[in-house]
Structure 1
Amino acid sequence: MQNVSFRPMGIGRILDRSFQLYRKHFVVLTLIMLILYGPFYLLQHLLTYQETAMTSGSILEQIRNGGSIQDMFGPNSSFLQKDPTLHSEGYIWKTLILVLVLSPIMILGLMPASIASVVHLVKASLYGEETPGVGQLLKKSFARFWPLAGSTFLVGLIVLGIYLGMAIILAIFAIIFAVGGSLSGAVGGFGGGGVAFTIVFFAVLGLGALFTFAYFVIRWGYYLPFVALGEESLGIGRSWGLTRKSFWRLFGMYIVLTLILYLFLIVVQLVVAAVFGVGLGAQLLQSLISILVMSLWFLPYAVSFFDLSVRNEGLGLQAMIDNTIPEATSEHFPIDLDKKND
């Protein structure tokens, strides 16, 4: 084990280490993402490129003509009026294939396998081991396919339940305020103060729901490395313990990462659309660019997992013991095991 650093890292250091790993292992990471996500995006675009091209083309036309947001996305928007296929039988079947076939493959298969490959790559780099090849990383990942898919399915159900619960709460408050506003209007008017209070209340409630949702996603979200490394079958409990006292640091890291990558992708996609249009070729090019940067979403996750392990589970202590105790044993207690009974 060489060149190993087992020191806790801050947000900047985690992101910096992630970008370093991205540059160093760009070819391996890109090939993994292309193998896993390339066929998926190709099938997705073959199914939906006509609808996407029509929608994107209308939006770009509105932008060029100085159209407003209402013109682009309102109920009377031009692309909705021009697109009768949105309600056709063929479009419905495409949507069903996308939702019932391709999306489960992505969520339960491709995503856990790609993240597991990145985890194994980061682990090899952290421990100073020889970098595994593309085939080795994919083999290690798919060796744990069913535990990865099963744990992802379970976590997905839990997260979906939390999401639906918060949506129901928001809907109940919306109904209460709507009924209250109607009653107030009937007896004398709601007033500007009531409107301002409603806006502030729902803004605070929405932010609270967002933070609550993010809290549970982050606290349970680090199950996958435990499963990928063969330490757990589910890993939800280990994830909860691993992320204790680290939510805000992790939340800040993901906010920064999202801003960086989304701004980059939005700019690139606008440039591609302006230069190449919105046809199938342009859509495939945009997907290729997304695949090229996809590992940057997963690297901070993997690096932060090992950082959390250092902070909360003492990662590195066993390595230090393994490196020091055998030397001390051979120096101070030179026992020949073959002659221990003589």
Structure 2
Amino acid sequence: MNNNLNKPKGFGEILDQTFKISKYKFKDFFIILLLLVGPIYILQAIIELATGKSFFRQEGGGGAWYEEMMRNMELTEEASLSSNLAADIGTLFVSLLVLFTYPVAQAAILFGVNHIKHNREFTASTIVKQAFGRFFPLIGSSLLYVIIAFSILFGFILLGVLIPIIFFSIDIIAGVIVTIVLTISLFLIGAFLLTRWSFFFGSVVLDKNSPGLTRSWRLSKGRTFKLIGLYIIFFLITTSIGVAIEMSVSAFLGNSVLLGLIVGFSTLFTTLIMAVGYAVMYLDLKVRHDADDLRDLIDDYHIR
């Protein structure tokens, strides 16, 4: 398996390698996510119980099974609209905790995939220790990336609203055309920039290069749109799994704490796939970049 990580891979090969590694090291990687992210879901469940949400809701009322399912789904929607302030504050607190635990879990999985690449044995505890060794650079760089992403998003939304308003005031057809073109353009530009910088994380973890944005920009050169495609594929796969689980379970449980726990822990599975996919993509970029550097050195040697 490690040989495949030591050579450049195509689009399909990256996907194939991701699922192979996810299956091969599922136990170790899932334990890492369970230990670092799992307690967050338990804490959220405790907060929800404390704010009055029932642990297990099984609404009665008779009728056919499909009527019961529709009734529970309607109750889920109504309960979500009437959530109280305390629950919202608790959810915000939990979300902030994830910002500190998830990067460590992601870094540990990245270390694990890198060990597989070099044919080195490892345990969940050893790679978690390695990840905590990069804790402060990870958090600092991640916060910087989030600020950049938010600034780009805010700026583009502002442009996407103001410019069409100006054209709509002149002509409706022109406004529609400008809105469509501008929306597509801003989306592509935003995706391009955020993808080019997104591999800062791998640089901070493996190359000890903080904040890693420049390194990420160099590594992703010439591969941006293929990387965007991979991100979209991984997003569609993991989202489909998550939505399917949530819809099937919520139809029976309604809006309950148990539903939140089931959905939360199923998210660990999709998170694992995304984390391994990111690691494979980053290592592929490194292999390609290192190969280019080697070719440049050979060319320089022949010139001399």
Report the equivalent of 1:133: 123
1:240 aligns to 2:217 (yes or no): yes
1:1-40 matches, within 5 Å, as: 3=3, 5-40=5-40
1:191-206 matches, within 5 Å, as: 194=173, 197-206=174-183
Residue 238 to residue 61, structure 1, CA distance change in 2 (3 Å): farther
Report the equivalent of 1:255: 232
1:281 aligns to 2:258 (yes or no): yes
User: Which residue among 86, 89, 95 is the counterpart of 1:103?
Assistant: 95
Structure 2 CA distance, aligned partners of 1:45 and 1:204?
44
The answer to whether the 8 Å contact 1:144/1:230 transfers is no
How far has the Cα of 1:200 moved from its partner? 4.0
Residue 35 of structure 1 aligns with an amino acid whose one-letter code is L
How far has the Cα of 1:52 moved from its partner? 8.6
Structure 1 CA distance, aligned partners of 2:48 and 2:164?
35
The answer to whether the 8 Å contact 2:202/2:282 transfers is yes
Structure 1 CA distance, aligned partners of 2:187 and 2:232?
13
Residue 9 of structure 1 aligns with an amino acid whose one-letter code is K
Paired residue secondary structure (2:37): helix
Moved over 4 A (4+): 2-5, 48-53, 60-63
Structure 2 CA distance, aligned partners of 1:34 and 1:19?
19
Residue 315 to residue 51, structure 1, CA distance change in 2 (3 Å): farther
Report the equivalent of 1:216: 193
The answer to whether the 8 Å contact 1:113/1:141 transfers is yes
User: Which residue among 275, 278, 289 is the counterpart of 1:301?
Assistant: 278
Structure 2 CA distance, aligned partners of 1:158 and 1:199?
29
Q: Percent identity?
A: 25
Paired residue secondary structure (2:255): coil
The answer to whether the 8 Å contact 1:242/1:309 transfers is yes
The answer to whether the 8 Å contact 1:4/1:128 transfers is no
The answer to whether the 8 Å contact 1:8/1:311 transfers is yes
Report the equivalent of 1:121: 112
Residue 122 of structure 1 aligns with an amino acid whose one-letter code is V
How far has the Cα of 1:97 moved from its partner? 4.3
How many residue pairs end up in the alignment? 284
1:165 aligns to 2:147 (yes or no): no
The answer to whether the 8 Å contact 1:309/1:315 transfers is no
| 1:277-317 superposed Cα distances (whole Å, 9 cap, x missing partner) | 33211221121111123110111111011111111123997
Structure 2 CA distance, aligned partners of 1:316 and 1:128?
23
Structure 2 CA distance, aligned partners of 1:214 and 1:282?
33
| 1:163-201 superposed Cα distances (whole Å, 9 cap, x missing partner) | 1111111121243245446xxxxxxxx5xxx2xx54443
TM normalised by structure 2 equals 0.82
Structure whose CA Rg is larger = 1
The answer to whether the 8 Å contact 1:6/1:316 transfers is no
Report the equivalent of 1:79: 78
The answer to whether the 8 Å contact 1:147/1:234 transfers is yes
Residue 19 of structure 2 aligns with an amino acid whose one-letter code is F
Residue 246 to residue 61, structure 1, CA distance change in 2 (3 Å): farther
User: Which residue among 141, 145, 165 is the counterpart of 1:175?
Assistant: 165
The answer to whether the 8 Å contact 2:164/2:175 transfers is no
The answer to whether the 8 Å contact 1:11/1:253 transfers is yes
Point out where structure 1 has 5 or more consecutive residues left out of the alignment: 73-77, 182-189, 318-342
Structure 2 CA distance, aligned partners of 1:4 and 1:14?
9
Paired residue secondary structure (1:23): helix
The answer to whether the 8 Å contact 1:117/1:137 transfers is yes
How far has the Cα of 1:105 moved from its partner? 2.5
Residue 70 of structure 2 aligns with an amino acid whose one-letter code is R
Q: Report the aligned-residue RMSD.
A: 3.3
Point out where structure 2 has 5 or more consecutive residues left out of the alignment: 59-65, 295-304
Structure 2 CA distance, aligned partners of 1:138 and 1:46?
26
